[in-house]
Structure 1
Amino acid sequence: MLYGIAAATAALLLAAVLAALLRVPALRLGLLDRRRQRPLPVLGGLAVVVVTCLVAWMGEWTRVAPLGDGVGRLLAAAAAVALLGLVADVWRLRARVLVAGTAVAAACVVPYDETGVPGGMLAVGCVVLASLAFKGLDHADGLAGTVGVVTAFGAGACAAAEVMDGLAVLLSVFAAALTGFLMHNWHPARVGMGACGSLFTGFLLSSSVVFTRAGYALGPSAAVAFCLGAVAAADAVLVVLARLLARHPLLRRRPDHLAHQLRRIGLTPQGSVVLLGAGSFSAVLVGVLVHTGWTGDGAVLWVAGVSLLAVLVLLRVPVQPPRRGPRVPVQPPRRGTSTQVTGHMRVRNG
């Protein structure tokens, strides 16, 4: 217990410091997220990955908090997915490369002896979809980190209920590292998560849920997994439906995610993240209660109904392309004057 508190505190402080330090090299190397209104350095996710792995492996190495069977392999696979995301941050990778790499990593950690081969293949697909869904959440300042912290605490509670102490400690350390990162990622963000951090977040959380629910029936396990990732799932469904209805390519970036639509109906950037964080907390709480048996599986239907209603309402909000600044009319030069062209404007001399 004391080690868990000390490890989480160390992870929070180290992640906050490292995220601040990595901001400068990210700016110098041009590792920026240009989807925002301002270029945002994206090495903050690397800080979360490094700190989580470092603190967790220190507990394993000292045997103070051993990770347990399979959890070390899970963390190594998550780190490999984070490395793939870092490559995607530096060089543009096709989506199929990210999908294939994440699928290979997931196939290496699924406990087939408890899930069976068909269930294991389904679990691999769920891990891949969850990883990509969390990558999609990184479209607004503080959103992916906030949802990740809430989900990590929920998954950690489920792991603790199954007496998986090593996995519970790992998730608490990860939640603390994300909190330290959020100190620099809250609006207006000074550093972003990037594909490195978002893929690591989605992979680690979804794989942890697979580990926790291994051996349970498929239906209830899918219900718990949906509750823990309800916000990411709703965002993915909203994006797919909006782009299909508008006949836009699914993989082409557009401002049609949850936070984008909430801002269009009048919420502030901070308000949209707080609202989605509260929604994530409510859904995660239902998932934990279902997992521990405090409530029946029917409670999941309320989460699914509210998520579907939110998607349908936000789907009716028109997606407008980003506005461009007004064009400045250019007056033709008079005789006896010279013009110098600078950018899109002419400067008159003489």
Structure 2
Amino acid sequence: MGCDMIFTMRFLRFIVLSVLVCGCLGGGGGPATTTTLDLSEMIKEQKDAARQNVSQMSIFNQGDCRGPHYVGIEYHRCSRCWSFTFRYDCEVEVGGETMTREHFVNVTFDDGRLRGIEDYEGGLKCISVGDCIPEVAEYNVRYECVNGSCQESAFTDDVSTFCLDRGHRIQMRKHVTGETYLMCVFSNGNECEIRSYYDGRCSPYTDSMTECRGYEPDTLCSSEYNPVCAEVRVGNQTPYTFEAMTFSNPCVACTTESKFRRVIGYKIGVCPPTTTTTIPTKNMTNPEAAYCEAQGYVYKIRKYSSGREYGVCVFSLYDECNAEDFFKGICGPES
């Protein structure tokens, strides 16, 4: 049996013992009652509690491993649920040479109580111990609250709840300078700095989409059907909302921007079935009519007393508005 295998088995044995011995930490078995938290104090208290648990794994104090080194924290949608990640730098013999292998220990708490400790073995980072360069590593573990009392967010400001309310997660990161910052992490693996996401400067899908370039607002598009799914930012002030819309081709997608609607980018193909807004092939000289009908409403022509025609988008028997204003987001159906 190799050295790595022996080390891993010993390591896992200490993890199991630690979980059995440590029991519950923090605020006991009752539900959380804190409504607002001082983030800096909370971090220190949680870090100390997590470090106390992993430090009881005496294998790391026998000269083989150095640590624990604080790596990062991930908060979850409850006031006292979090995951801490620590790193141990362990010396191992590989091919007659001493190398450093990273071990990540993830400590999870549910409603302030220890839920478990997990070990993740990293790759070899150094040729020899003397050549090691300190790195700030990240190891992210998805964790969902399973406790009925885990309903309250540790973050109550508008920027944080904007991320959490859309089903995303918040992670705290740490620069090598020691400065901390928050990231909004999405289910597709992408992420945005939390303020950039709130301000609409960063989208969950931006890095995988083609940007609109080379199109002018008055470009006359062809009727070619080459559907694209566009990420559209809606609204003229923060917080913005994002919608996925299917357009008949890239030109149509990139020339339908207005003050209240901005196309972030697009992917080739129609949007997934969960999104319903579709801009079909249309008479390119009347995008207002096509947009109205794409929303499921009826476009009609009206006449002024002078005889000049104009278009309206009809939402119901007594509810309609000027089609151009609806297209620009100025008006819409009454709720």
* TM-score normalised over the length of structure 2: 0.30
Larger fraction in strand: 2
Larger fraction in helix: 1
Q: Specify which structure has the bigger relative contact order, considering alpha-carbon pairs within 8 angstroms and separated by 6 or more residues.
A: 1
* TM-score normalised over the length of structure 1: 0.29
Considering only CA atoms, is the larger Rg found in Structure 1 or Structure 2? 2
